[in-house]
Chain A
Amino acid sequence: MLLRPIRFAKGTVRFRVVGSSPERLLNLAAQRGVLIWDAHPAPQGLEGCMSAKDYRRIRPLARRAAVRTRVLRKRGFPFLAARYRTRTGLAAGAVLGAALLVFLSQFIWTIDVTGQEHVSAAQMKTLLAESGVKAGALRKGIDTAQVRRDMLLKVEELSWLSVNIVGCHADVEVKEKIKKPAIDETAAPCNIKARADGVITSVMAAEGVARVMVGSGVRQGDLLISGVTVDKQEQVRTVRARGRVMADVISKKEFDMAKRFDYFSVTENKAARRCLSFLTLRVPCSLSFAHFDDAAYTESDDMLTLNGTVLPLGFVTETAREVQREPVTLDRAGACRMAEKELLLWELFHKGEWTRVSKQLDVIETKDGFSCKATLVFNEDIAQSVDFSVEEQP
């Protein structure tokens, strides 16, 4: 398998021997340690192959054997180099290419972060870039121990981090801390009381005695599950009451909306600037400039990917879209639509875990705008632990 590359590097000659006794040349050559391969009979003699260096050695042997030799074909690197000897540009290009390869090998090209579950890879890459690990950073300038210390201080969720630089690739392996589960270690007795007014829909007492039934109406602060229990021997015992009490709770939300306001919208006018991105360099490829008073900017990249690895070479497009300011006068129907959207967001962020039972929205037109009043009923857990102290009386 290695024979062909070695022969190519040394250079080979296919030759023809013409004469009365070409076998004699083969014997003389073999005696002198000249290796001949692929010899076969040819008209008036034979043909074979040998290394270019050996071909010079067999000339006196050919005279002794009274045969004539003739080169049929030359192959290999020495002949190739001789052919391009006068073309200095090729040699200069090869040297320059090799130098460029060595120079670019000094930088980090790709970064891969593995092992994170809750911390995002983008956040990790941003923090790594702050610590000096980024595409285009000098490989020798990265102190992996320092990066490790910095990252563990910056990201509290990490328990372990390792930066492995292999060639031009930085592989960052992380392990996140296992969060301690919330365990209520308080041993003090407590009652479960109502956090808000409502109508009970279900009671699940894990510890303690339920004091309300399904359908009962309760006010804020009412006892729901008692931490004081009486056993069969009529002995009083205090426990830390635990449980889940679901109730329909009325929630009210009020907000105002102005009649006239400025509405910002993105128009079709845009200016895209394309840049060639390589490591940390950016070379502009287009001459368009944004000339808008107000604009929204977006950036998208189209990087070269090789075997699933994103290389720091490609095009980055910065797009500026014109933002138009438009005065809007709100009518009643529009106010209702906006109020609905506002309520939906409030529900999502404040009551997201509970089920909505009913909703009533009133939009009242005022002098300056609209006043919205929403009454919503949510089925939510109203259980709230309230500690109490026990004193023994003499």
Chain B
Amino acid sequence: MAKQSARPPRMDIGFAPLIEAVGNRQVTVEGSAGILLYESECVKISTGRMIVSFGGRGLRLRCISGSCVEISGFISNIEFLC
């Protein structure tokens, strides 16, 4: 009987955004294509294939560069809108 691996199957993630969260206080999104909405309660970031929405309180954009956005604040939810 073949041994089953615990790791998930490999997928093509070459164009997917890389989202790194430090608790619920800081999120870094690599692969951003633009900011669609910026409010203190909601930030929506386009990543090409989908839109990532961050909801919370006192959200701030700590740093914005060509393909990277860093959000800080009290993040209560993350939504992927395809």
Within 8 A of B (CB), among A13-34: 22-23, 26-27, 29-31, 33
**Complex formed: what's the CA distance from A28 to B66 in Å?**
9
Q: Are B63 and A26 in contact (CB under 8 A)?
A: no
- How many positions in chain A have a CB within 8 Å of any CB in the partner chain? 17
**Complex formed: what's the CA distance from A37 to B66 in Å?**
13
**Complex formed: what's the CA distance from A37 to B70 in Å?**
9
19 sample A-B contacts, Cβ–Cβ < 8 Å, listed by A number: A22-B38, A23-B38, A26-B38, A26-B61, A27-B34, A27-B35, A30-B64, A30-B65, A30-B66, A33-B65, A33-B66, A36-B63, A37-B62, A37-B63, A38-B60, A38-B62, A40-B61, A46-B38, A48-B64
Contact with A26, one of B40, B60, B62, B64 (Cβ below 8 angstroms): B64
- Binary flags per residue of B41-67, CB closer than 8 Å to A gives 1, else 0: 000000000000000000011111111
Give B residues with C-beta under 8 Å from A: 32, 34-40, 60-67
Give A residues with C-beta under 8 Å from B: 22-23, 26-27, 29-31, 33, 35-41, 46, 48
Measured between beta carbons, the chain A residues less than 8 angstroms from B32 are 30
Q: Are A23 and B36 in contact (CB under 8 A)?
A: yes
Closest CB of chain B to A198's CB: distance in Å? 96
Closest to A32 in B: B66
Q: Are A36 and B64 in contact (CB under 8 A)?
A: yes
Give 8 nearest A-B pairs by CB, closest first.
A27-B34, A39-B61, A40-B60, A23-B35, A36-B64, A41-B40, A37-B63, A23-B38
Q: Are A41 and B63 in contact (CB under 8 A)?
A: no
Q: Are A26 and B65 in contact (CB under 8 A)?
A: no
Measured between beta carbons, the chain B residues less than 8 angstroms from A31 are 66
**Complex formed: what's the CA distance from A392 to B30 in Å?**
112
Closest CB of chain B to A29's CB: distance in Å? 7
**Complex formed: what's the CA distance from A102 to B62 in Å?**
43
Closest to B44 in A: A23
Closest CB of chain A to B26's CB: distance in Å? 14
Q: Are A39 and B40 in contact (CB under 8 A)?
A: no
**Complex formed: what's the CA distance from A29 to B64 in Å?**
9
Measured between beta carbons, the chain B residues less than 8 angstroms from A35 are 63-65
Closest CB of chain A to B3's CB: distance in Å? 47
**Complex formed: what's the CA distance from A183 to B72 in Å?**
84
**Complex formed: what's the CA distance from A33 to B64 in Å?**
9
Closest CB of chain B to A47's CB: distance in Å? 10
Q: Are A39 and B65 in contact (CB under 8 A)?
A: no
Closest to B71 in A: A39
**Complex formed: what's the CA distance from A31 to B34 in Å?**
9
Closest to A33 in B: B66
Measured between beta carbons, the chain B residues less than 8 angstroms from A36 are 61, 63-64
Closest CB of chain B to A142's CB: distance in Å? 54
**Among A23, A35, A37: residue with most chain B CB under 10 A:** A23
